[in-house]
Structure 1
Amino acid sequence: MLSRDTRDPAALPRLLLTLLALALLWPGVRLSELDPGVLLQADNREQMGNFVSGFWPPAHDPDFLALLLESTLQTLAVATAGMALAFLIAVPTSLLASRALSLGAASRGGQAGFWSRTARLPVRGLLIFLRSVPEIVWALLFVRAVGLGPTAGVLAIAITYSGMLGKVYAEIFESVDQRPAHALLQAGGSRLSGFLYGILPSAGAELVSYTVYRWECAVRASVVMGFVGAGGLGQQIDLSMRMFAGAEVASMLLAFLVLVFLADQLSRVLRGRLA
């Protein structure tokens, strides 16, 4: 009777990869000074318990709810206006950074020439610079330039997210079938017609899906930037935490959770309709 070897041939490589991952992770844990045991110390547990106990019941007086509604709408406005500006910057830069509408690539079967690749390097470098600086750093700079308020948050999101959108848009344009766009370009069509009728029909669903996802991220980012004076829910949460008003913080966190949930549902609906 023949015996069958039931050993997993990939077990040893997986074990080695796991050990390698742990060996690389350990220095990072040490450098970050991660110590979960600090949370279990008696003094820390008492302080956290006292702070969290003030969260209930959430604040719900009419004046505060009016302020909460205004801050929530301001957060939505900051995220939406910032994304709109980012979109206006990202679309032209992504087209310049992509070879999808390159006349040289159209004549060479999709392969761009040396000078075409070289000409795109400055645009790609600009996109790298825009997305490499976190939006909260831009918010700090703009708060000092234009003062406290939502304007700093709008500009910060516009700059950082234009780099993110531009990079991903360029990759989406290059990942779809470029033959229709190249055929239009070779037939004498303009780059605009090549984009509208050759690239956009194939890339539209993915573009909308990623844009809505980034808008959801912008909503969260606008709250974080409020802690440095960029307005919205974040600024109100910061003020309430400074005054140890836990009930107000709880109400604002609940409003933020609802905001993110609605943004997620909108993203899901749009992806389902465009799939």
Structure 2
Amino acid sequence: MPSRPPAANEVFRLPPPLFSARCRACWFTAGALVLVILSFWSLDLQWGRFFSGDALGRMGRFAAELLAPRTDAAFLARLWPAALETLAMSVVGTLLAAVAGLLLALPASRTHAQDRARWRGATRLLLNALRSVPELMWAALLLVAAGLGPMAGTLALALHTTGVLGRLFAEAIENAPAGPGFALRVRGVAEGRVLLYATLPQVLPQLVSYTLYRWENNIRAAAVLGVVGAGGLGQMLAFHLGLFQMPETGAVLVVMLVMVLAVDGLSVLARVRLAR
């Protein structure tokens, strides 16, 4: 379609300058750049030693051993049970977090303008506290109660992910279009049925997408939790990496990569199905 010719009374304005003394965003950006430059200057980064021939040669040997993973039957017989344990930890931890996060997201969200949301502040504070503590800290605390093994790692994933998913679910519920819920409320429908028939169907694709994304993150987190004795691939990774056994470490990393790619493909498939 041909563009419309400019009218005689139209005024063409030049784009604003990149920096203006009256622009607060410009000053904020300039200040952030100054802080970044000062950070590099204060860290005493030894780039010359990092890019030296000796360092590059050692990194090359390290990468070559890492890219040749061990694949013999004896090692794989120990690797697959650990992978299944990591997968089970991530699945159970994510499912527990999705249920608990949804239950906490309901009082943490304001569903309409007249909603008083009495527990919104307290619930959001709880969600902030849960996700502010890293999984490793939760695992270290729970190891005292649950002992070594996947139980502590699963609960650590569930507690941290509850804080993350609860906040994301609450934001999705608050940002849902208000029209369907308003139409049911003016007819006297109870709030629980409004949530069930109007709000949740609209935000369900987002909730599923958030949950699958956190499941993908929890696979990596479950592997890291093995470092503190939570079992799974992380325990093997810490053992072989501590002994600088790079072929074994590479095999563990390959299995983790395959698991993450599988969850990512499942997430894409679920979003496509829910969008229909």
Structure 1 residues 91-111: Cα deviation after superposition (integer angstroms, max 9, x where no partner): 1110011121xxxx5xxxx24
User: In structure 1, how many angstroms separate the alpha carbons of the residues matched to 2:99 and 2:118?
Assistant: 24
User: In structure 2, how many angstroms separate the alpha carbons of the residues matched to 1:77 and 1:20?
Assistant: 46
> What is the aligned residue count?
260
Q: How does 1:1-275 map to 2 (within 5 A)?
A: 8-13=15-20, 18-30=29-41, 34-41=45-52, 44-55=55-66, 57-100=68-111, 105=112, 110-112=113-115, 116-275=116-275
Structure 1 residues 100-130: Cα deviation after superposition (integer angstroms, max 9, x where no partner): 1xxxx5xxxx244xxx344321111111111
* SS class of match (1:221): helix
Q: What's the offset of the Cα at 1:9? A: 2.4
Q: Kindly tell me: are residues 270 and 31 of structure 1, through their superposed partners in 2, closer, same or farther at Cα, counting changes over 3 Å?
A: farther
* SS class of match (1:57): coil
Q: What's the offset of the Cα at 1:40? A: 2.2
User: In structure 1, how many angstroms separate the alpha carbons of the residues matched to 2:257 and 2:222?
Assistant: 14
User: In structure 2, how many angstroms separate the alpha carbons of the residues matched to 1:64 and 1:29?
Assistant: 43
Q: Kindly tell me: are residues 59 and 201 of structure 1, through their superposed partners in 2, closer, same or farther at Cα, counting changes over 3 Å?
A: same
* SS class of match (2:158): helix
Point out the more displaced range, 119-128 or 151-160: 119-128
| Cα RMSD (Å) | 2.5
User: In structure 2, how many angstroms separate the alpha carbons of the residues matched to 1:145 and 1:197?
Assistant: 41
Q: Which runs of 5+ in 1 are unaligned?
A: none
* SS class of match (1:73): helix
User: In structure 2, how many angstroms separate the alpha carbons of the residues matched to 1:178 and 1:209?
Assistant: 21
User: In structure 1, how many angstroms separate the alpha carbons of the residues matched to 2:162 and 2:42?
Assistant: 32
* SS class of match (1:209): helix
Is the Cα–Cα contact under 8 Å of residues 149 and 229 in structure 2 kept in the other structure?
yes
User: In structure 1, how many angstroms separate the alpha carbons of the residues matched to 2:51 and 2:16?
Assistant: 43
Q: What's the offset of the Cα at 1:6? A: 10
Is the Cα–Cα contact under 8 Å of residues 101 and 163 in structure 2 kept in the other structure?
yes
Q: Kindly tell me: are residues 199 and 74 of structure 1, through their superposed partners in 2, closer, same or farther at Cα, counting changes over 3 Å?
A: same
Q: What's the offset of the Cα at 1:65? A: 0.7
TM-score (norm 1): 0.84
Is the Cα–Cα contact under 8 Å of residues 85 and 231 in structure 2 kept in the other structure?
yes
Q: What's the offset of the Cα at 1:249? A: 0.6
Letter in 1 for 2:18: A
TM-score (norm 2): 0.84
More helix by share: 1
Between the aligned residues of both structures, percent identity stands at 38
Is the Cα–Cα contact under 8 Å of residues 219 and 256 in structure 2 kept in the other structure?
no
Q: Kindly tell me: are residues 174 and 155 of structure 1, through their superposed partners in 2, closer, same or farther at Cα, counting changes over 3 Å?
A: same
Q: What's the offset of the Cα at 1:42? A: 5.0
User: In structure 2, how many angstroms separate the alpha carbons of the residues matched to 1:36 and 1:6?
Assistant: 46
Q: Kindly tell me: are residues 117 and 191 of structure 1, through their superposed partners in 2, closer, same or farther at Cα, counting changes over 3 Å?
A: closer
Letter in 1 for 2:124: R
* SS class of match (2:106): helix
Letter in 2 for 1:77: A
Q: What's the offset of the Cα at 1:82? A: 0.3
Q: Kindly tell me: are residues 212 and 36 of structure 1, through their superposed partners in 2, closer, same or farther at Cα, counting changes over 3 Å?
A: farther
